[in-house]
Structure 1
Amino acid sequence: MMNSFPRLPNPLGKAIKHLVAAALVAPVFISAAAFAVDAKTPAIPGVVKEGTAVQFIKEGFEGTEGPIAAPDGSFLFTETRANRITKIAPDNTISTFLENSNGSNGLAFAPNGDLITVQVNNNQVGVVYPKGREKVLVKDFEGQGFQRTNDLVLAKNGGVYFTDSGPGQDVKAEPKTGVYYISPEGKTKRVVGINEIERPNGIQLSRDEKTLYVANTGGEYVLSYAIKADGSLSDRKNFAKIPNGLQKNEQGALSSGADGLAIDADGRLYVTSNTGVDVFDDKGKFLGGIPVPHKPQNVAFAGKDKKTLYIVGRGAAYKVDVLTAGFAGRVK
C-alpha cells in the first residue's frame, strides 16, 4: 500500500524514486531517508494554506497512538510496544512522560488532572497518572472481558465513551466489537451492539456533545450517532465517506484506514486514513486531504494556541501549522 504514495507532491515523489533507484546498485536504508521529508499541503479553506509544510519530527518510535495535548500545550502520544507515553515539546524536544503505561492507547485528561487511558495489556479502561491515583474504571462487561480496547473520548459530564475493536491481528477469536459508555457514576453499558460496526476505532464527540463520531476501519464511513440524555445512542448515520474507500491493508484485508479523529474550533472533523488526514465539515462534506509520508494512525491539535496539528503513524511523528485552532473543549 505504501508503494503508491498517494497525494504526495512531486519533490517527495522524486526523492523516493531516487532512493529506490539507488537501492538497485548499493544498499540504502530507505525507511529513514524516504520519510524524513516534509510534504506540502494543498489549500483547504480554513484549514491550511497551499504549500504548508507537513514537518517531519522523528521516526523510530515503538508504536504511535493516542495523541492528545498536554495541559502545558505540548504533545503526548503512546508508544504502545514500548509501554510508555512520550512527550514532544513545541521545539520538538522529545522526552518520556510516563513509563509503564500498561499498554495505554487512547488518552484523555480529566479536569482534575487524572490521565484516563484504554489499556491493551489488560484490555481495560483506567487512570494511569498521576502516581498514587491509578485505578481501574472497567475491565469487563457482564462478566466478559474486552477483546481490544482501542480509543476513548471524555465528555464534559465525566462520562467516557470507548471502543472495543475486536481481537488483535495475531489473535484467533470470533470478533465481538462494540462501543461502550462509562457513566459519571461509574456504570458501564454497551451503546453500540456487538459487531454492528466491523472495526470501531477512533472515537470523538461533536462540540455540543450531541453527536458521537466513530471511525470504522473496516468500512468506508465515519459513523455518527445522536446522544441521548442517559448517554445511550440512536440514529446511526454514514456521516463522512473516506474518499479513497477500501484498500487492502498489510494483512490483505479490506480497510479504509479510518482511525484517529479530532475536531477543530469550527467543528471540522479530521480523520486519519490510508492516504493522509481527510478533513470534513460539520455536515460530513469532504474538504480536502493533508498528505503524510507515513500512513497515519492518529491526529491531535496541540501547541500553546492549539494551532498545530500533530500526526503520528507507523512509528513516525509530523506536525503542520493550521489556520483554525483545535476545539478548546477537548484534549485533541
Structure 2
Amino acid sequence: MKIDTIQTIGSGIIRPEGVMALDDGTLWTADARGCCAQVAPDGRTTFFGDLGGVPNGICVDTHGRCIVANIGNGQVQALRPDGRHEVLLTHADGRRMRAPNFPFVDQRGRLWVSNSTERENLESALWDPTPDGCVVCIADGVARIVADGIYFANGLTLDRNETHLYVAQTMRRNILRYSIGDDGRLGPAEVFGPDPLAEAGIPDGIAFDEGDNLWITFPRWNAVGFLTPAGELRMVLEDPAHRVLQRPANICFGGPRRKTAFIGSLDGTTIPFFPVPYPGMRLVHQKR
C-alpha cells in the first residue's frame, strides 16, 4: 500500500497511543494529558476525563466504558463518556502493577491487561530489558497474574475462538502465544511467527482480523504489517520519512463491516486510517 493513499482524521491529540472504533463511527483515543479524545466521523475532536498519568492502550467494555491502561500512574481505569472514572486495578497477587500497557475484554467478560515492567523508571526497561513483564486477568472481581517473565509485555489480544492469548514481547521482538484453559489458566508460552519478527522493528500493538491475520504495529520501524495464520510476516505500510505514520503503536478496526484500520501512535496528533482486505475481529463492544 502506498503511503500517500493513507488518510487521517481528528486533530490536536497528544500521544494517541490507544485507539478504539465504535459502531456509530466515533473513535476514542488515549491522550497524554491524562484524558481521552473523542473523534466524531466528521473529524471534530473533543476531550473527556481527568485520569492523570499517561493513558496508553484502551478498549471498550460491554457497558460502554473506555478501559484505560494508564502507564503513567500504574492504574487500570474505567472511564465513562460523562468523564467519571473508577480504578479497576493497581495490584495483582500482592504485586504492584507499575506499567499497565494494554487492556482487552473478552466475550466472557474477563479483562486481560499487560504490565510492561515492574520498574518505576519505564525507560530503563527499554534500554536494559529484563523479564519482569506480566499479564493479569481480572475475572469475577479477582486479579491474577496468569503469565510472567515477559520482556516488556505490550499489546495483547485473544483469537476469535478465545482459545489462545497473544502478547507482543517487545524487547525480544516476537509474539508470544499461550493456550487458555477452561479455568482461565494459561499453558506455557510459545513463539508465534518469526523469532525475531524483524531486525528493523519491535512489535507494539496487535489485533486480529477475521481472516485470522494478526496485525502488528512497529513504532521503531514506522511500519504496519501482519502475521498470516501460518506465521508468515507480511508488511503493509512502511513510512521511513514519517510522512503519515508517527511511530504507530496500536491498531483497531471499524467503519462499515469493520474493514477500516485505524492507527494509534506515540508521536501523532491525528489518526491515520486505511482499508483492509478482511474485516477486523469483532470486539465485545461492536455489534455490527
Bin for the TM-score computed over the shorter chain:
0.7 to 0.9
Q: What is the aligned partner in structure 2 of residue 12 from structure 1?
A: none
What residue number does 1:238 align with? 191
The alignment partner of 2:193 has SS state of: strand
Distance 1:246 1:94 in 2: 39
* Counterpart among 212, 215, 225 of residue 267 in structure 1: 212
Q: What corresponds to 2:76 in structure 1? A: 125
TM-score, normalised relative to structure 2: 0.83
User: Is 1:141 the equivalent of 2:92?
Assistant: yes
**8 Å CA contact retained: 1:258, 1:272:** yes
| Partners of 1:87 and 1:302 in 2: CA distance | 14
Structure 2 equivalent of residue 319 of structure 1? 273
1:62 aligns with: 14
Distance 2:67 2:203 in 1: 23
Corresponding residue for residue 143 of structure 2: 188
Question: What amino acid does structure 2 have at the position aligned with 1:99?
Answer: G
Task: Tell me the alpha carbon deviations over residues 43-81 of structure 1, each in whole angstroms, 9 at most, x when there is no partner.
Answer: xxxxxxxxxx222446763212111112422222111x2
- How far 1:290 sits from its partner (Å)? 1.9
Aligned counterpart in structure 2 of residue 212 of structure 1, from 165, 189, 204: 165
Q: CA shift at 1:132, angstroms?
A: 8.1
1:188 alignment partner AA: A
- Once the 2 structures are TM-superposed, how far is the Cα of residue 192 of structure 1 from its aligned partner? 1.1
Structure 1 spans left out of the alignment, 5+ residues: 1-7, 10-38, 41-52, 248-255
Aligned residue for 1:24?
none
CA distance in structure 2 between the aligned counterparts of 1:244 and 1:192, rounded to whole angstroms: 21
TM-score (norm 1): 0.73
Which residue number corresponds to residue 226 of structure 1? 179
Aligned to 1:280: 227
Measured after TM superposition, the shift of residue 268 of structure 1 is 1.1
Residue 303 (structure 1) aligned to one of 255, 259, 264: 255
CA distance in 2, matches of 1:110, 1:157: 11
Structure 1: how far apart are the matches of 2:233 and 2:123? 34
Aligned residues: 271
Of 109, 117, 135, the match for 1:179: 135
Cross-structure match for 2:45 = 95
* Bigger Rg, structure 1 or 2: 1
CA–CA separation in structure 1 for the residues paired with 2:30 and 2:224 = 19
1:329 aligned to which of 275, 278, 283: 283
Question: Paired residue for 1:17?
Answer: none
* Identity, % of aligned positions: 26
Provide, for residues 285-312 of structure 1, a one-character-per-residue CA deviation record: whole Å limited to 9, x for no partner.
2233322433311111122432111112
**Is 1:82 aligned to residue 33 of structure 2?**
yes
Q: How far apart in 1 are the matches of 2:84 and 2:37?
A: 20
CA change 1:304–1:56 in 2 (3 A) is same
Residue identity matched to 1:116: I
- Structure 2 residue runs of 5 or longer lacking an equivalent are none
Q: Which moved more, 1:113-122 or 1:293-302?
A: 113-122
Counterparts of 1:59 and 1:201 in 2: how far apart (Å)?
Answer: 26
Describe how 1:33-72 pairs up with structure 2 within 5 A: 39=3, 53-57=5-9, 61-72=13-24
Q: Verify: 1:199 aligned to 2:152, yes or no.
A: yes
Deviations 1:6-43 (A, max 9, x none): xx96xxxxxxxxxxxxxxxxxxxxxxxxxxxxx15xxx
Native 8 Å contact 2:28 2:37 kept in 1:
yes
Match in the other structure for 1:34? none
Q: CA separation in 1, counterparts of 2:262 and 2:249?
A: 11
1:96-123 CA-to-partner distances (Å, cap 9, x unmatched) read: 2423133332222221222222223431
Q: Structure 1, residues 254-287: CA drift from partner, whole Å, max 9, x if none?
A: xx42111111122211100124111112232223
Q: Secondary structure at the match of 1:305?
A: helix
Q: Partners in 2 of 1:198 and 1:169 — Cα distance? A: 12
Range moving further from structure 2, 119-128 or 306-315 = 119-128
